[in-house]
Chain A
Amino acid sequence: MTIDQSVALAPASRAIQLIGTDLTEKSLKLHLDGLSGVDAVGLESRAAGLATRSIKTTSKVWALDTIIRLIDLTTLEGADTPGKVQSLVAKAMNPDPSDPTTPRVAAVCVYGDLVADAVAALGSTHAAGGPTGINVAAVATAFPSGRASLAVKLADTAEAVAAGADEIDMVIDRGAFLSGRYGLVFEQIVAVKEACRRADGSYAHLKVILETGELNTYDNVRRASWLAILAGADFIKTSTGKVQPAATLPVTLLMLQVVNDWYRLTGEKIGVKPAGGIRSSKDAIRYLVTVAETVGEEWLVPHLFRFGASSLLNDVLLQRQKITTGHYSGPDYVTID
Chain B
Amino acid sequence: MSAHLTIPKTYKLYIGGAFPRSESGRTYEVATRKGAFLANAAKASRKDARDSVVAARAAVSGWANATAYNRGQVLYRIAELLEGRRAQFVDELRSGGGLSEAQAQREIDTAIDVWVWYAGWADKYLQVTGNGNAVSGPYFNISTPEPTGVVAMVAPQDPDVKGTGLLGLVSVIAPVLVSGNTVVVIANESIPLPAISLAEVLATSDVPGGVVNILTGSPAEIAPWLASHADVNALDLAGAGDLDWIDLQIAAADTLKRVLPPESGVPAPAVDRIQFFTETKTVWHPKGII
**Chain A residues close to B by CB (< 8 Å):** 321, 326-333
Q: Can you name 11 A-B residue pairings with CB atoms under 8 Å?
A: A321-B230, A327-B225, A327-B228, A327-B251, A328-B53, A330-B53, A330-B57, A330-B229, A330-B230, A331-B231, A332-B231
Closest to B47 in A: A328
Residue from B57, B228, B230, B231 having most chain A Cβ neighbours under 10 A: B230
The answer on a CB contact under 8 Å between B231 and A329 is yes
The 3 closest A-B pairs by CB, nearest first: A330-B231, A327-B228, A328-B229
Asked whether any CB of chain A lies closer than 8 Å to the CB of B50, the reply is yes
Write out the residue numbers on chain A whose beta carbons fall within 8 Å of the beta carbon of B251.
Answer: 327
5 more CB-based (< 8 A) A-B contacts, given A328-B53, A328-B228, A330-B53: A326-B228, A328-B225, A328-B231, A330-B230, A333-B230
How many A-B pairs have beta carbons closer than 8 Å: the answer is: 28
Write out the residue numbers on chain B whose beta carbons fall within 8 Å of the beta carbon of A329.
Answer: 230-231
Instruction: A331 to B54: give the CA distance in the assembly, Å.
Output: 10
Instruction: A238 to B241: give the CA distance in the assembly, Å.
Output: 54
Interface residues on B, range: 10 to 19
**Chain A proximity of B62: nearest CB distance (Å):** 16
Closest to B225 in A: A328
**Chain A proximity of B54: nearest CB distance (Å):** 9
Instruction: A329 to B232: give the CA distance in the assembly, Å.
Output: 9
Closest to A330 in B: B231
Write out the residue numbers on chain B whose beta carbons fall within 8 Å of the beta carbon of A327.
Answer: 225, 228-230, 251, 254
Residue from A326, A327, A329, A331 having most chain B Cβ neighbours under 10 A: A327
Instruction: A330 to B231: give the CA distance in the assembly, Å.
Output: 4
Write out the residue numbers on chain B whose beta carbons fall within 8 Å of the beta carbon of A328.
Answer: 50, 53, 225, 228-231
Write out the residue numbers on chain A whose beta carbons fall within 8 Å of the beta carbon of B50.
Answer: 328
Instruction: A327 to B225: give the CA distance in the assembly, Å.
Output: 7
**Chain B proximity of A79: nearest CB distance (Å):** 21
Write out the residue numbers on chain A whose beta carbons fall within 8 Å of the beta carbon of B230.
Answer: 321, 327-330, 332-333
**Chain A proximity of B200: nearest CB distance (Å):** 28
Residues 133-153 of B, flagged 1 when their CB comes within 8 A of A and 0 if not, give 000000000000000000000
**Chain B proximity of A332: nearest CB distance (Å):** 7
Instruction: A75 to B31: give the CA distance in the assembly, Å.
Output: 55
Write out the residue numbers on chain A whose beta carbons fall within 8 Å of the beta carbon of B53.
Answer: 328, 330
Residues 210-242 of B, flagged 1 when their CB comes within 8 A of A and 0 if not, give 000000000000000100111110000000000
Residue from A321, A328, A329, A332 having most chain B Cβ neighbours under 10 A: A328
Write out the residue numbers on chain B whose beta carbons fall within 8 Å of the beta carbon of A321.
Answer: 230
Closest to B150 in A: A330
Instruction: A326 to B50: give the CA distance in the assembly, Å.
Output: 13
Closest to A328 in B: B229
Instruction: A331 to B53: give the CA distance in the assembly, Å.
Output: 11
**Chain A proximity of B79: nearest CB distance (Å):** 33
Instruction: A213 to B200: give the CA distance in the assembly, Å.
Output: 38
Write out the residue numbers on chain B whose beta carbons fall within 8 Å of the beta carbon of A332.
Answer: 230-231
**Chain B proximity of A89: nearest CB distance (Å):** 27
| CB contact list, B224-273 vs A, under 8 A | 225, 228-232, 251, 254
**Chain B proximity of A260: nearest CB distance (Å):** 34
Write out the residue numbers on chain A whose beta carbons fall within 8 Å of the beta carbon of B225.
Answer: 327-328
Write out the residue numbers on chain A whose beta carbons fall within 8 Å of the beta carbon of B57.
Answer: 330-331
Closest to A321 in B: B230
Instruction: A216 to B209: give the CA distance in the assembly, Å.
Output: 35
Closest to B229 in A: A328
Instruction: A332 to B254: give the CA distance in the assembly, Å.
Output: 14
Write out the residue numbers on chain A whose beta carbons fall within 8 Å of the beta carbon of B254.
Answer: 327
Closest to B231 in A: A330
